[in-house]
Amino acid sequence: METLQLDLDHGLRSFRLELALTIGKETVALVGPSGAGKSSVLRAVAGLLRPERGFVTLGSDTWLDRERGIDLPPERRRVGLVFQEYALFPHLDVRGNVAYGARDRRTVPGLLERLRIADLANARVTELSGGERQRIALARALAREPDVLLLDEPLSALDAYTRRAVRAELHEFLKELQMPTLLVTHDFEDAATLADRVGVLVDGRVLQLGPPQELVGSPSDPFVASFTGANLLQGIASPGRDGLTEIALEGGGAVWTTDQGSGRVAVAVYPWEVSLSRDIPNDSAVNHVRAPVSSIVSLGNRVRVRVGPLTAEVTASSVARLALDEGDVVVASFKATGTRLLPVA
Amino acid sequence: MRLAPFAAFLAVATTASLAFLLLPIVAIFAELSPGDLRDGLTSEVTRDALRVTVETNLVAMALIILFGTPTAYLLATRRFRGKALLVTLVELPLVLPPAVAGIGLLAAFGRLGLLGGTLDGLGIDIAFTKVAVVLAVTFVASPFYVRTAIAAFEAVDPDLVSASRTLGAGPGRTFARVALPLAGGGLGAGAALAFARGLGEFGATIMFAGSLKGVTQTLSLAVYQEFDVEFDNALAIGALLVVASALILLMAKLVLAWRRSNSTLITVSVPSASS
């Protein structure tokens, strides 16, 4: 299995797509808001879009090199692309779809079996559920025996219920595949579950690329922090007591962090670092925000509670113990070590 | 029961329109006794005209489909400067008076026309031959096919074409295995419309090909010639053309309705399949 390398420079409607990636036997996810140029990256790798400058190579094969005038058409690049809406051929049955690009038709029954669609082999693709359609699209792409797999928003066409199951399943599948895989999604949680490395793409540029825990643990930029789910508080940093940095918040009040910094900053706090109580607790947390509860959203055994400028993620039982209701004034607390200081451009 | 004034107005206007549109068709059959119909249809004039019509229209349809399909595919799938103008030019024969089409064809292919000298040098004389009928029918009927075909190809999801390419199929194979089958219903309907128009072709043909019995005289031209020679013959041929046109129109509608009901059936069957 070979390494996929790409370096692209292409003008999109309101910004330039400029990015370079090296993908080995791993899954890399590009995550970003819609319109960040994610799909264009996949299309450039697949040969459906010709970037103004750049190259795409797989091992020693050059698929694209604008300087040398090389641009292989899609059918000559060994790439499997799973489209966002799957793009299954409506005039063919499931087997016909999977066999369409098969390098060796004898592999088709095995693929149908492996993706649990053998029972549907003769079904019309238009009659199937989202999860089934996704597995067909995956089988069809793999039948081509690609050297690179590209997935465009693989989960966005699914309803919330199917999505969780398919995400776990797809994660296992990609791990076994051991092939350079590039996927794009607008959902950080999807990216973090599916990929070994995640790149945050905004306006055509990768702000940060690394393992998901690194993006959460030390976001390099306020956008990355908020995209990975952190609360952001803006303010002015200056040296404070006990070697901590004090941040005078824009909206009044102050918080403290163990990170060093000065000037205009953003403080990132993940919701799971925030605890809730009726009164200021007598524990090691130095940061307290007293504010009314504006919303309470239950997500299974977790509850997201919006308190003033912060979102806290706490257990359902602690919400019950506090007997929380919208409008109640509570104290949201978090430790100085639970924060990240990020410079504001 | 009293109808509201507006509903009454709609009912009266609709009745008048339908009566006016149907009356001439009904009259053809009302004026024709079964015996006259049989005699008219078996007359030599009719048989010759039928043969000429079938021969020329089949060749014209083959040409229209052979050249029109790739033209429509290109116009539907490529974006380039001046495309709207090109599409308009392709559609121009739709609105052109048939007599103008006839004089234009003469000016282009006639003995004294633009290409006449070249064709004459090659020993080819087109005007007033079967070839002229084929050209006239092709010229007048092809926009009906190309227009419908463009719409049919445009309706094919571009992602399906892209998917086919990434699955290893080149542009030609993608056309044959994805675009053509998916646009098939629209192409069939377009071909039926073009065929119906071709059967009725009169003005361009009579100017460019004349009305030579057994050579260039089609059914439509035979109606014109017979109406002051043997009126019942003209009526019989008219009846034949009415039935043929109606059948073609019905076929086109059925093909389109079948494609549509097939696709709605799919959406309707989703909940029942999961229950």
Structure confidence at residue B1 (pLDDT):
58
In a domain, B55, yes or no: yes
Contact A75 B166 (CB under 8 A): yes
Are A174 and A50 contained in the same domain?
yes
Helix H segments across A178-324?
188-194, 212-217, 222-227, 316-322
Are A81 and A192 contained in the same domain?
yes
Mutant choice from A85, A100, A142 vs B, greatest count of B C-beta within 10 A: A100
Are A124 and A175 contained in the same domain?
yes
Cβ contacts from A onto B, under 8 A: 68
- Give the confidence band of A51 by pLDDT, cuts at 50, 70, 90: very high
Are A108 and A174 contained in the same domain?
yes
- Among A166, A193, A223, identify where a domain stops: A223
Read off the CATH number of the domain in which A188 is found: 3.40.50.300
How does DSSP classify residue A257?
A: E
Are A157 and A39 contained in the same domain?
yes
Structure confidence at residue A94 (pLDDT):
95
- The model's pLDDT over B15-25, given as tens digits with 9 standing for 90+, comes to 999 999 999 99
Tokens found for residue B210: 């004349």
Which residue from B minimizes the CA distance to A87? B160
Least confident range from A209-223, A322-336, B250-264: namely B250-264
| A48 chain-B contacts, CB cut-off 8 A | 162, 165-166
Read off the CATH number of the domain in which B238 is found: 1.10.3720.10
Mutant choice from A93, A126, A144, A149 vs B, greatest count of B C-beta within 10 A: A126
Structure confidence at residue B96 (pLDDT):
92
Tokens found for residue B242: 């009415």
Structure confidence at residue A1 (pLDDT):
64
Q: Select from B53, B79, B41 the least CA-distant residue to B234.
A: B41
- Give the confidence band of B262 by pLDDT, cuts at 50, 70, 90: low
| B270 chain-A contacts, CB cut-off 8 A | 127
Are A34 and A135 contained in the same domain?
yes
Structure confidence at residue B266 (pLDDT):
37
Tokens found for residue A328: 């109640």
Are A188 and A215 contained in the same domain?
yes
Q: Tell me the three state secondary structure of residue A177.
A: helix
Structure confidence at residue B260 (pLDDT):
63
A147: Cα within 13 Å, side-chain hemisphere: 18
Question: Which 3-state string (H, E, C) describes A121-143?
Answer: CCCEHHHCCHHHHHHHHHHHHHH
Number of domains chain A is built from: 2
In a domain, B273, yes or no: no
Return contacts of A14-23, CB within 8 angstroms, 24+ apart. Answer: A14/A203, A15/A203, A15/A204, A16/A204, A17/A41, A17/A51, A17/A204, A18/A204, A18/A205, A19/A199, A19/A201, A19/A204, A19/A205, A19/A206, A21/A182, A21/A199, A21/A206, A21/A209, A23/A148, A23/A180, A23/A181, A23/A182
Report chain A residues touching chain B, CB-CB < 8 A. Answer: 43, 46-48, 73-75, 77, 79-81, 83, 85, 87, 89-91, 100-101, 103, 124, 126-127, 129, 140-141, 144
**In the predicted model, what is the mean pLDDT of chain B?**
89
Least confident range from A37-41, A52-56, A298-302, B152-156: namely A298-302
Are A245 and A215 contained in the same domain?
no
Q: Indicate the residue of A79, A85, A144 with minimum beta-carbon distance to B159.
A: A85
- Give the confidence band of B264 by pLDDT, cuts at 50, 70, 90: very low
Number of Cβ within a 10 Å radius of residue B6: 8
Number of domains chain B is built from: 1
Contacts of B239 (CB under 8 A, 6+ apart): B28, B29, B32, B37, B40
Q: Indicate the residue of A46, A87, A101 with minimum beta-carbon distance to B160.
A: A87
- Among A223, A247, A273, identify where a domain stops: A223
Contact B166 A46 (CB under 8 A): yes
How does DSSP classify residue A244?
A: P
Structure confidence at residue A107 (pLDDT):
93
- The model's pLDDT over B143-189, given as tens digits with 9 standing for 90+, comes to 999 999 999 999 999 999 999 999 999 999 999 999 999 999 999 99
- Give the confidence band of B273 by pLDDT, cuts at 50, 70, 90: very low
Q: How far is A101 from chain B (nearest CA, A)?
A: 5
In a domain, B82, yes or no: yes
pLDDT(A144) > 90: yes
Read off the CATH number of the domain in which A244 is found: 2.40.50.100
- Domain hosting A287: range is 230-343
**In the predicted model, what is the mean pLDDT of chain A?**
91
pLDDT(A162) > 90: no
Q: Select from B47, B36, B28, B39 the least CA-distant residue to B217.
A: B47
pLDDT above 90 as % of chain A:
69
- Among A182, A199, A223, identify where a domain stops: A223
- Domain hosting B200: range is 33-260
Q: Which is more confidently placed, A6 or A325?
A: A6
Q: Indicate the residue of A46, A80, A91 with minimum beta-carbon distance to B182.
A: A91
Burial bucket for residue A154 (CB in 10 Å: 0-12, 13-18, 19+):
buried
ipTM over 0.85: no
- The model's pLDDT over A79-117, given as tens digits with 9 standing for 90+, comes to 999 999 999 999 999 999 999 999 999 999 999 999 999
Q: Select from B192, B179, B196, B195 the least CA-distant residue to B69.
A: B179
Structure confidence at residue B261 (pLDDT):
58
The amino acid sitting at A10 is H
Which residue from A minimizes the CA distance to B170? A75
Mean pLDDT, residues A264-274: 93
